[in-house]
């Protein structure tokens, strides 16, 4: 394998490793993925229950305030009873008192239902909080472990970044442009291996990415270290050792 192709292959490899390291740094490593998902799922549930409890508490406070306002109103009307001057005023006052009392009992009913909802949320929270706390502790431990591993991954990423820059500097600009363009087009992978079709008779080689046939003279040129692209998908071809 000639130098230029060899460098391009190394470059692709370094870029792949760098991409993986950067993705890892921005996310969660595979070994704690399962716990991470379980933790996120349960956290959403616990937060939802807490929100339901808060909401019920708030509704209860609002209802309590409303009830005490209405009770004050009833008291005020009752105090006025002694001051009425005729039957009509008396009737009107009694009507006001009745209305306020009806409002009180309607509000009390609503109050009761938010209390029940709050109690149910509280019961579920209590029931699950022990298990969640345990899970959370395990999760925090794994997070800590991951945090302690991060600097090493970051250091490796930095090393790879330098390696990528160094390799890019060694590839002729025209080749680098083709490489970059192809890489962008194919989700980060600019290369395709030349593979051999398994069959009897003369060997047939094809592009490992799109299966298009690779001409024998192309293979010779690749073996001489030249950059060749697949006639169909235009990926840069390289030969893996067992084929060459």
- Catalog residues that contact Zn ion under the rule CB under 5 A: 207, 209-210, 212, 230, 232-233
Give the shortest CB-208-to-Zn ion separation in angstroms. 8
Shortest distance (Å) from residue 152 CB to Zn ion:
37
Sign of the Cα pseudo-torsion (18, 23, 26, 27, in order): negative
Q: How far is the CB of 231 from Zn ion (least distance, A)?
A: 8
Q: Which of 214, 218, 244 is nearest to 232 (CA)?
A: 214
Minimum distance between the CB of residue 202 and Zn ion, rounded to whole angstroms? 21
Rounded-to-integer distance, Cα 90 and Cα 84, Å: 6
User: Given the complex with Zn ion, which of 103 and 211 has the nearer CB atom?
Assistant: 211
Q: Which is nearer to Zn ion, 148 or 217 (CB)?
A: 217
Between residues 97 and 237, which has the closer beta carbon with respect to Zn ion? 237
> Smallest gap, in angstroms, from Cβ of residue 205 to Zn ion?
11
- Beta strands across the sheet bearing 236-239: 204-207, 191-197, 236-239
Select 49 or 214, whichever has its Cβ closest to Zn ion: 214
Nearest Cα to 45, choosing from 127, 103, 111? 127
Question: How many Å apart are CA 74 and CA 66, to the nearest integer?
Answer: 12
Residue 53 or 190: the one with the smaller Cβ distance to Zn ion is 190
| Minimum distance from residue 146 beta carbon to Zn ion (Å) | 39
The torsion of the CA quartet 60, 64, 70, 73, rounded to 10 degrees, works out to: -160
Q: How far apart are CA 97 and CA 209, in angstroms?
A: 85
Those residues whose C-beta lies under 8 Å from the C-beta of residue 225, and which sit 6 or more positions away, are: 1, 2, 3, 4, 5, 6
In whole angstroms, give the CA distance from residue 42 to residue 123: 16
Nearest CB to Zn ion, comparing residues 39 and 235: 235
Instruction: Tokens for 151, please give them.
Output: 């600097």
């Amino acid at each position: 394998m000639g130098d230029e192709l060899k460098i391009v292959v190394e470059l692709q490899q370094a870029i792949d490793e760098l991409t993986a390291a950067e993705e890892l740094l921005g996310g969660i490593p595979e070994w704690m993925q399962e716990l991470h998902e379980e933790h996120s799922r349960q956290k959403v549930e616990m937060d939802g229950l807490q929100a339901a409890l808060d909401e019920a508490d708030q509704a209860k406070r609002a209802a309590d305030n409303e009830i005490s306002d209405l009770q004050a109103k009833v008291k005020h009307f009752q105090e006025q009873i002694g001051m009425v001057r005729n039957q009509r005023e008396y009737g009107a006052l009694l009507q006001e008192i009745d209305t306020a009392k009806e409002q009180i009992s309607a509000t009390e009913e609503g109050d009761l239902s938010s209390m029940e909802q709050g109690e149910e949320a509280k019961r579920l929270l209590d029931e699950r909080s022990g298990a969640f706390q345990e899970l959370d502790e395990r999760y925090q431990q794994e997070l800590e472990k991951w945090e302690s591993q991060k600097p090493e991954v970051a250091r490796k990423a930095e090393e790879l970044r330098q390696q990528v820059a160094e390799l890019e500097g060694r590839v002729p600009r025209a080749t680098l442009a083709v490489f970059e363009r192809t890489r962008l087009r194919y989700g980060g992978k600019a290369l395709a291996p030349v593979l051999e079709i398994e069959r009897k008779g003369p060997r047939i080689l094809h592009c490992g990415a799109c299966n298009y046939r690779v001409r024998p003279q192309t293979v010779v040129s690749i073996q001489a270290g030249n950059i060749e692209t697949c006639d169909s998908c235009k990926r840069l071809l390289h030969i893996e050792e067992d084929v060459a």
